[in-house]
Structure formats: C-alpha cells, structure tokens
Structure 1
Amino acid sequence: MTAFLLSVHVIAAIVLIGPVTVATSLFPRYAREGNTAVVDALHRISRVYAVLGVSVPAFGLATGAAMGVLGDAWLIVSILLTAGAAALLALVVLPGQSRAVAALHADGTTAASPRLATASGVFALTWAVVVVLMIVRPGSTTGV
C-alpha cells in the first residue's frame, strides 16, 4: 500500500504542481507583454491546478503515515513549506493574477507587478526545496 500511495503522491506532484508552477512563473512575463490570450490561459491553469494540487499533500500525508515518518523533521519542514507555498499562491499569486487579467481586459494596461513576479519565483523555489527534502530526507534512518 505504501508503494501505491507514494506513486500516486509523486505522479500527482508532477502532473498537478508542475503545471501550476510553470504557469505562475510565466504569467508575469506575458502580462507585461499584454498577451491577453496567453495570460487568460495561464491564469486558468494556475487556478484549476491550484485546486487539484490539494491532492498532493493529502496523498503525501497518507504516505507519511503509512511509512511511519510523520514526526520526522524533514517531513514536518516539507509540510510547513507546502502550507506556505499554498498560502502564497492563494493570498498573493492568484489575486495578483486576477488583478492583472482584469486590468489587461479593462484598458489594456499591463499590470504584472514586481511583487507578483517575486511571489511566483518564491512559490517555485519553495517547491524545489520541498522536492530536495523529499529526496534527501535529512536525518532519516530509512536511507535514500
């Protein structure tokens, strides 16, 4: 069962977190360029995959429980980083994208703020750190 849960967790991370990370990273560039069609598509991808991405930590927690590692420091840090990334996405990135899309449609203003670009970069960097923690598992006695 553990192998199944881990497989689903990893596949979901690749298929769901990957696209939202790429879409949020590309959004500021295309918003600055005023490319309405691309901006609309990237915002839709960001929103939809953000909702679907909730399954990743759910399967991750189930996997951690099955492996008996929920109390391990590497997993606790990963959980906190995941929560932080989710909050950043929900509270900064998606609202910033919505404002940029509205401005672009209203009057053609290219309103991708530096804050949005920075938040998108931090979001992507957070996922990179989580992936490294999941692979290296510092302090784990189960080996790599």
Structure 2
Amino acid sequence: MTKFLLAVHVLAAIIAIGPITVAASMFPAMMRRALAVPPDPQAASWARLLHRICRVYAVAGVAVPVFGLATASSLGVLTDAWLLVSMALTVAAALLLTLVVLPHQAALTAGLDAPEPPAGRAIPRLAMVTGMFNLLWAVVTVLMIVRPGSTTGA
C-alpha cells in the first residue's frame, strides 16, 4: 500500500504542481504583452487561459499533500524533521498561491476588460511572488529526494 500511496503522491505532484508552476511563471510575461502599447491581440486570451490553468490545477493540487501525508503515515516518518519542514513549506506555498498569486492574476485579467487597464506596477510584484512560490516547491522537491537524516541510505 505504501508504494501505491507514494506513486499517487509523486504523480499528483507532477501532474498538478508542474502545470501551476509553469502557467504561473508565464502569466506575468503574457500580461506585459497584453498591456503593452500596442498590445499583443492574443496575449490577453493567453493570460486568461494561464490564470484558469492555475485555478484548476490548484484545486487538483490538494491531492499532493493528502497523499503525501498518507504516505508519510504509512512509512512512519510523520515526525521526521525533513518532513515537518516540507509540510511547512508546502503550507507557505499554498498560502502564497491562494492569497497572493491567484487573486492578483484574477485582478489583472479582470482589468483587461475595464475601460482603464490595470497598472503595470503589479506585474513585477506578481512575478516575484510567483518565483517565491516556485522556489518553495523546488525546496520541497529536494527535501523529498534527499531526506536529510534518512536511514534509507538513498
């Protein structure tokens, strides 16, 4: 059962978190193109699509920590330091995504239809926060592979 849980956890991470990190990273550049003078006519549609990808895969991404906790429980490592740090970083990444990245993307895409387009000042901040989100996931991934203090020898 542990191998099944681990396989589902890893697949969920690849299938759900991968698209979020890519789409969220591409979003600021698309918004810059959509707000440029003259604007790229297709950039606004791409920005909306990238935001939708982030929203949909964020919901699917809930499976990653759910199966991760089930896997950790079956392995008996719920109190290991590397796992506790990974869980804290996962919570931080989820909070960044839900409280900053997705709302800013929504505001920027909604502003595309407004008579006065959104200011471009929000885009660099969104790019920075998205980079932090991606960095958190990269650290979690490394911790999952390296598992400091693990006795498995891997």
TM-score, normalisation: structure 1? 0.96
Aligned residue in 1 for 2:14: 14
After TM superposition, the runs of 4+ consecutive aligned structure 1 residues lying more than 4 A away are none
Q: Distance in 2 between matches of 1:129 and 1:113?
A: 24
* Counterpart residue type for residue 141 of structure 2: V
Q: Report if aligned partners of 1:36, 1:105 keep a CA contact under 8 Å in 2.
A: no
- Structure whose CA Rg is larger: 2
Aligned counterpart in structure 1 of residue 129 of structure 2, from 105, 119, 126: 119
Q: What are the within-5 Å matches in structure 2 for residues 129-140 of structure 1? A: 129-140=139-150
CA contact (8 A) 1:13 1:53 kept: yes
Within-5 A mapping of 1:76-91: 76-91=84-99
How far did 1:72 drift? 0.4
Shift of 1:141: 1.3
Q: What runs of 5+ residues in structure 1 fail to find an aligned partner?
A: none
Report the AA paired with residue 95 of structure 1: P
The amino acid that maps onto 2:9 is H
SS of the aligned residue for 1:143 comes to coil
CA distance in 1, matches of 2:69, 2:63: 10
Aligned residues: 144
Shift of 1:21: 0.7
Selected match of 1:68 from 71, 76, 99: 76
Q: TM-score, normalised by structure 2?
A: 0.90
What per-residue deviation string (whole Å, max 9, x for no partner) do you get for residues 32-61 of structure 1?
100111001000000000011001000000
Q: Compute the RMSD of aligned alpha carbons.
A: 1.1
- Which residue number corresponds to residue 67 of structure 2? 59
Which letter does structure 2 place at the counterpart of 1:141? Answer: T
Please identify, of 40-49 and 105-114, the stretch whose mean Cα deviation from structure 2 is larger.
Answer: 105-114
Q: Shift of residue 104 of structure 1?
A: 1.4
> Shift of residue 109 of structure 1?
2.6
Following the alignment from structure 1 to structure 2, what is the Cα–Cα distance between the partners of residues 143 and 99?
Answer: 48
- Alpha-carbon distance in 2 for matches of 1:4, 1:108: 52
